[in-house]
Every structure is written in C-alpha cells, then in structure tokens.
Amino acid sequence: MKYSARLFSIILMWLSSWTYVYALEPIYSDFFGKAIKGYDPVAYFTVGKPLKGESDITYEWNGAKWYFSTQENRQQFVSNPTAYAPQYGGYCAWAVSQGYTASIDPNAWYIFENKLYLNYSESVQKNWQKDISGNVRKADLNWPELLKN
C-alpha cells in the first residue's frame, strides 16, 4: 500500500510539472477540476484584480468547477457564463496564438474588448501584449483546431 501511494504522488508531481498541455477539454482546469486555479472570473471585471474564490461558492459549468469570492459574483456568472469565462477555455492566450496550449497564472490577466485573457506568466503576457489584436486574431483561428486534438 505504501508503494502505490508513493508512486501515485510521484506521478502527480510529474504531471503537475508539465508546462504545456493539450486542449483535450474545452476548459483548462487543474487535477481537481478547478477552473482558473480556483480564482473568481467575475472579480477580474468587477474589482479589477484576481481574487481567490471560496470553496463553498462554486458553480459547475462546461466540465469545470468555477469558484467565486461572493454569491453576487456567482449569480452574475450563472446568468451569463460566456461574458466572464476567460477566452480559449482559460488556457494561455499567447500559447493559443502560437498554436499550442499552456497552463496559466491567474495573476497574468488582461481584459481586451470586454473579454478576459489569461497567460502562462507575466513575462509571457508582455509578449502577448505587444500585439494584442493580432494575437487574438491568430488565437481565434487556432482555437478550434486545438480543441480537435
């Protein structure tokens, strides 16, 4: 029993170290199904910064569990999830613009034309921000193909 628990934890550490992921699911979520690593998607719009969601204020949507900092934010999301959910299923917008997928840092975010975009890191975000509209056009073209993989 000890051996299998140790092997399981080694496999989990190995899987969590992967930087690039394939968009097998329409929403990027962690091993436990948390979208945006448990951050509140509505807070980016209403408070203008990332806020960690509460474990007792959640909503299941599009195959992932979304966390919210307030009941009001949860209700806003429930009434119109596509208005608040990050683009490209919450995968890194820069990666999608380049034709692959990557995980995100909830602190590397940007709202462009009233849509939430997340990036792998703040340094990757700086590259993405050099040509936001061009990168969005490329990512919009790449995203449907990435979902097929």
Tell me the domain boundaries of the chain.
18-148
Give me the helices (H) in 17-121, please.
43-46, 71-79, 81-84, 93-98
Residue located via tokens 């509140």: 40
Distance CA 99, CA 93 (A): 10
| Residue pLDDT, tens place only, 107-131 | 999 999 999 999 999 999 999 999 9
Confidence of residue 4 (pLDDT cuts 50, 70, 90): low
Q: In this structure, are residues 104 and 21 in contact, taking their beta carbons and an 8 Å threshold? A: no
- Reply yes or no on whether the pLDDT at 53 is more than 70: yes
What is the enclosing helix (H) or strand (E) of 71? helix 71-79
